[in-house]
Every structure is written in C-alpha cells, then in structure tokens.
C-alpha cells in the first residue's frame, strides 16, 4: 500500500483521539491533517493542524485537498447545546454534510464517519432520526466510497464528564448478552481501529458497519 495523506475531523473526542493515535503509529499514513475550530496542543512530524470556521461551508475543502482518506467523528450532546435542537443539528448534521461535500469536490477515495446504531430517518427519536437523515444525505451525494460506522454505547474514558453515559458504561456490559448484537456496547478503540483498517482496503459504494462488522475489521 502506498503511503497516504489523511484528514481527520473530531480528533479530540473519544473515538477521534484513539483514531489519531493509531494513524500516528501506522506507517501507511505519512501525513495527518487535523481539523479543529480552536487551537489544540498536538505536536508530531506527521501532523498539520488546520483551524477553521465550521460554520463556513467553504472552509472545509482546502483542509482535505490532497487527502485520499477523510475521517469524521463529530458529535455533541443535548447538555452541551442546552437542549437546542437547531444547535444540535448544526453540529451533528451540517458539519458532517459539509465534510462529505468537500470530499465529493476533491474526489477523495474514501470518507469514513461515525453514526449510531439504530440510525433511522423514520425514527420518532430526534437523535436517531438525525443520524438517519445525515446518512441518507451523504448516500445521495454518491461519493466514490463511504464507510459508515454505527456503534452503540461506547466504552472508554472521555475527557469530558458524561454522568449518564458513565453509569451506562458500568451497567450495560453485564446486560449485553441479552441484546441484539448491533446494540451491544463496544470499546471505542475497536471502532477507531476498524476505521483505520477498513481505509486500507477501500470498497466502492456506501457501506454500513454494525457491531459484528466493526469487531471483525478491528483485528
């Protein structure tokens, strides 16, 4: 495999930070463009940091112009946006969609992004409906290759405090044997590792990865 240049959005989150660590250690990637809205403390010979205005749709394209692979692990919570659904949508939908459009404009080989188990545009649940909507919107862009990752509850240590999720992380693993596989909790590191591995064997079209596929591809 020829060494590639990649771009990552959401490198400070749970999956994104692990993804970045894997990319740094992987010799198949020689340059990593890290896109952020504010200055962050990162220093490595592979990394170039791009600070952009995420509300400006035109600012995305330049950051991934020479990248073959683009990763996105972007998301917020109701508490962060104080229950404002419009603000929630600007992050979980607008940013991801603008990244996808930039991938289309620049003929990126593969766009990999994190969605959620249960994503469904017909769902009455705001979160799952929104995830389904972004998936459908990106599908309609007809990119060369799109990899969608649908993990359920993520297991791992976040930098921020999410008390409800922390309690769920403690309880849910003991109940996972009762759940359908796609709703089982999963280690964030396995999601990140599978994203890296899948980017090395690009499949054309629009592919969704659930729990079993993520576990398989993380090895």
- Read off the pLDDT of residues 21-51 as tens digits, 9 standing for 90 and up: 999 999 999 999 999 998 888 889 999 999 9
Give domain 4-217's CATH superfamily. Answer: NAD(P)-binding Rossmann-like Domain (3.40.50.720)
Cβ(44)–Cβ(24) under 8 Å?
yes
Name the average pLDDT for the chain. Answer: 89
Strands (E), the chain: 4-9, 29-36, 47-51, 69-72, 110-114, 145-149, 154-155, 186-187, 205-209
| 124-128, 173-177, 198-202, range with the lowest pLDDT | 173-177
Q: Which 3 state secondary structure label does DSSP give 71?
A: strand
Q: What is the pLDDT of residue 158?
A: 55
C-alpha–C-alpha distance, residues 124 and 94, integer Å: 20
- To the question of pTM greater than 0.85 for the whole model, the response is yes
Q: Is the pLDDT reported for residue 176 higher than 90? A: no
88-116, pLDDT tens digit by residue? 999 999 999 999 999 999 999 999 999 99
In whole angstroms, what is the distance from residue 218 CA to residue 180 CA?
20
Q: What pLDDT score was predicted for residue 195?
A: 97
Give the pLDDT band (50/70/90) at residue 83. confident
Q: Does residue 160 have a pLDDT over 70?
A: no
């Amino acid at each position: 495999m020829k060494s590639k240049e990649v771009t990552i959005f959401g490198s400070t989150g749970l999956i994104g930070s692990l993804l970045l660590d894997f990319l740094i250690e992987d010799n198949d990637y020689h340059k990593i463009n890290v896109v952020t809205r504010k200055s962050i403390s990162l220093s490595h010979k592979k990394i170039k940091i791009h600070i952009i205005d995420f509300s400006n749709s035109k600012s995305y394209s330049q950051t991934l112009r020479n990248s073959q692979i683009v990763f996105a692990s972007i998301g917020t919570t109701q508490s962060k946006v104080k229950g404002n659904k419009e603000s929630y949508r600007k992050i979980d939908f607008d940013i991801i969609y603008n990244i996808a459009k930039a991938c289309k404009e620049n003929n990126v080989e593969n766009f990999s992004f994190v969605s959620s188990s249960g994503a469904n545009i017909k769902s009455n649940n705001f979160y799952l409906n929104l995830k389904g909507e972004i998936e459908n919107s990106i599908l309609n862009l007809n990119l060369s290759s799109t990899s969608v990752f649908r993990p359920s509850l993520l297991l791992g240590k976040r930098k921020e405090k999410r008390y409800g999720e922390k309690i769920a992380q403690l309880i849910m693993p003991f109940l996972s044997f009762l759940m359908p596989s796609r709703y089982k909790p999963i280690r964030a590191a396995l999601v990140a590792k599978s994203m890296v591995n899948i980017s090395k064997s690009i499949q054309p079209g629009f592919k969704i990865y659930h729990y079993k596929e993520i576990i398989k591809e993380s090895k």
